[in-house]
Amino acid sequence: MIYRDEEELFDHCNIEIIGDKAEIKDVDFFKKSAADNLADNLLLSHSDHLKNICHWVVFEAANKFGIIPSSIQTLYEARAQHNLTHFTVPAINLRTLTYDSARAVFRAAEKINAGPFIFEIGKGLLIIPLL
């Protein structure tokens, strides 16, 4: 579903704006349907304004679900400092079908209650749209 405006986006995704935060009212619906619609809008919407809102909602949701964009460097340092050797951190490099592939990784990780893993991308491969 490609949203026409903010109201339709927030209503359909069951999101309430509280201050500067997006509150997801139905987490199951968000994970099963709304997240896919937001991704579709990021790619297909003609409105830069709506794309920015979709990006913000996805970022807010990711933080709520414990998906935090960050460097793994501090984990490597902690492992070295405390001699932690009882686990590994798989690094997955997604280059094509990134959204669908990432969803598949998260589904599989959830099924086996996986520990940490990362998606990596070289800085030279980043294309950051200026909206």
Domain interval for residue 16: 6-64
Q: Is the pTM of this model over 0.95?
A: no
CA–CA distance, 49 with 45 (Å, rounded to integer): 9
Q: What is 9-59 written as a DSSP string?
A: HHHHTTEEEETTEEEES-HHHIIIIIHHHHHHHHHH-S-HHHHHHHHHHHH
Looking at 46, 64, 82, the residue that finishes a domain is 64
| pLDDT tens track for 70-129 | 788 888 898 889 888 888 888 898 887 888 898 899 899 999 999 888 888 766 666 655
- Is 77 in the same domain as 59? no
Three-state SS for 95? coil
Q: Which residues of 90-116 are buried (b: 16+ CB within 10 A; e: fewer)?
A: eeeeeeeeeeeeeeebbeeeeeeeeee
Q: What is the DSSP letter of 92?
A: E
- Is 57 in the same domain as 88? no
